[in-house]
Structure 1
């Protein structure tokens, strides 16, 4: 079997329709992928096997791009083998030690949470993902100490920096020399991913929107797994994070706030709201009169205008059942991070927009 320079932790439908799809489409991919299931969930064994099927697995791209309906299917062939930490630890250790140049992950926020077993000196399946990664790096250090790159895609701010700190905290008790090697020769890359993957296809595959982004923060010695129009190397992630939070996420929470105020009537999905002319007009007005002036003041007007166009296309996706009830979870916390924080940020940028709708929500949130 061929070697796999990319080792991926996570079997999510997001990864199937994002990173793995990019690798399959690219003519310059670093190589095929070993996918590792870190949860050890035996119920997902069928999916694990199907990911590496010779015929590949399907990804359906369905939605709107530049006002045009996109509805097509592609097959993904980038996954060469699949393994589970619960049953294949020795094989995984060998692959990470001898083959891997890049380790990718998307293990969910919960996968980063410390576990009681994390401080153990030997591998335990109940360890968190950072602890499992530490033990794999520990094996590589003892065997050959070759440099390696780690690229988390979890939706955690500064995800590379966070994972690096967690690994170093676990590496020091194992060996000071090992911790020094992690600091010097393991590159942890910060990135931000963005694509709505709405449905799974059984046993493997997914339905995703046309829009996709993998923003990767540049750093010394950065190794890209492949090139793709969705992969953008940026000098800093902060502007990308700002656009996503204060345009896409703010828009979602603004729409949900109105839906809740109307007693959750008249719509079930974001698409339903976009089909209501008065609500669509109100959202466009909000972006134009209250949100965009802050981006103009911050010198980010061109990027913001282009991104708003993609957001409106994504909200109107006729194939995507993005439920308002799902977005409404933890609504008050989201209002604080997405709307109240935006009002503060807009003021700091010197925006002179009155922002009556956003200020009303912001003030209500802080009074409550």
Structure 2
């Protein structure tokens, strides 16, 4: 073990040491602790055995505190401030600290959070949670849950943060399948369904860089939207942690405003031949030939269409917030990074709004121009 145990209510187990989690969930927990609104601390589990991962885990374990530098604008104010996160109880490495991880999971943990990347839910063909150290996150989680089921029978609340739709339910399905096929214990499968809470969440914050040896630089805006569920108790409380009855409208709002705007901006940037002169979103927002039509597209085309589909979500305010985030003078968000898998992003982000607009009889010439440029919408259809 690379960190001495803490006796301070180390009840949240976090899988992943990403800078996003450090500046988002761990920050919220720290703020909640400081305000006296909760008493749970975080035990981080470093899953990979890569040298850089182990170094980061060692640095986290050695310090248990780190800075987050919030830089940008929020609600009209420029923010350039460093805050210290003090919510960690320990940082453990899976391949060397598994016995301690299992002990804590069985005896102390009430909540699980994770952010294991795009491939975090992948299951190798030969994976088995009964192995001494399974090779994937879901299999490791199944192993820990089985140990808890067998030894104390208390359920746990799981709140994954991966950018996967219905992430809690998807994780439940994967773990349940592993339990069903590998343990062959119907009572364990029933326990997973009846005693554990699998909560869908949506996260939104740009964490742009790392502070060495431990820390992060992030934008001031943040959202952790959590689907309301019977029996849910939050691990922390913060104004940016919101419990909502349905995540789908929030997912659509993000996809069809913020993500749509990113991809529309990239298409316009490409069409105007600006790649050699502009590299970042913040630079694009200083270019009148990009910013002005972006604002018109959002206010005149996207807003009236989505307002009928997503009532009550304060879309005007969200559009203003999106433009403010894009104009962040401190954020180096590369347009070429957004341009990865561009055509597929246009299909998912822009095309549905275009289809909704057609059904409503609402013209969307600026949206259509981006879709026509890539052939997603033909000339005849656009007319």
Alignment partner of 1:151 is 2:159: yes
Instruction: From the superposition, tell whether residues 309 and 223 of structure 1 become closer, same or farther in structure 2 (CA, over 3 Å).
Output: same
Note if contact 2:226-2:241 (Cα within 8 Å) is conserved in structure 1: yes
1:121 alignment counterpart: 130
Correspondence for 1:22: 28
Deviates more, 1:292-301 or 1:61-70: 292-301
What is the CA distance between 1:62 and its match in structure 2?
Answer: 0.2
**Matches of 1:172 and 1:355 in 2, distance apart?**
49
Provide TM-score, normalisation by structure 1.
0.95
Asked if residue 326 in structure 1 is aligned to residue 342 in structure 2, the reply is no
Q: What are the Cα deviations for residues 264-307 of structure 1, in whole angstroms up to 9, with x where unaligned?
A: 23210000010112321111100111101112222526611010
Q: Does 1:339 align with 2:350?
A: yes
Equivalent of 1:292, from 303, 320, 326? 303
CA RMSD for the aligned pairs? 1.6
Q: Sort the Cα spacing of 1:145 and 1:346 in 2 relative to 1 into closer, same or farther, 3 A.
A: farther
Q: How many residues align?
A: 365
Q: Residues 42 and 116 from structure 1, CA distance in 2 versus in 1: closer, same or farther, beyond 3 angstroms?
A: farther
The answer on whether the counterparts of 1:123 and 1:132 sit within 8 Å (CA) in structure 2 is no
1:238 to 248, 255, 259: 248
User: Cα 1:301–1:223, aligned 2, differ >3 Å: closer, same or farther?
Assistant: closer
For 2:141, which of 119, 133, 136 is the aligned residue?
Answer: 133
Structure 1: runs of 5 or more not aligned: none
Query: Counterparts of 1:1-368 in structure 2 under 5 Å?
Result: 1-2=6-7, 3-26=9-32, 27-54=36-63, 56-119=65-128, 121-125=130-134, 127-173=135-181, 174=183, 175-263=185-273, 264-298=275-309, 300=311, 303-347=314-358, 350=360, 352-363=361-372, 364-366=374-376
* Partner-residue secondary structure (3-state), 2:96: coil
Which deviations, in whole Å up to 9, do the C-alpha atoms of 1:150-184 show, x marking residues without a partner? 11000001000100000000011202211111011
Kept in 1: contact 2:17–2:46 (CA 8 A): yes
Gapped regions of structure 2 (runs ≥ 5): 1-5, 379-383
The 8 Å contact of residues 151 and 191 in structure 1, kept in 2 or not, is answered as yes
Counterpart Cα distance in 1 of 2:87 and 2:312 = 38
Distance (Å, rounded) in 2 between the aligned partners of 1:54 and 1:181: 37
The offset of 1:251, in angstroms, is 0.3
Distance verdict in 2 for CA 1:305–1:110, change over 3 Å: same
Tell me if the contact between 1:332 and 1:365 (Cα under 8 Å) persists in the aligned partners: no
User: 2: distance between equivalents of 1:216 and 1:156?
Assistant: 14
CA distance in 1 between counterparts of 2:167 and 2:352 reads 21
CA distance in 1, matches of 2:302, 2:216: 33
Secondary structure (helix, strand or coil) at the match of 1:199 reads strand
Q: CA deviation at 1:123?
A: 3.4
Q: Cα gap change, 1:124/1:312 in structure 2, threshold over 3 Å: closer, same or farther?
A: same
Query: How big is the shift at 1:344?
Result: 2.1
- 1:114-173 superposed Cα distances (whole Å, 9 cap, x missing partner): 113423532334x21111100000110110110111110000010001000000000112
C-alpha spacing 1:345/1:164, structure 2 compared with 1 (3 Å): farther
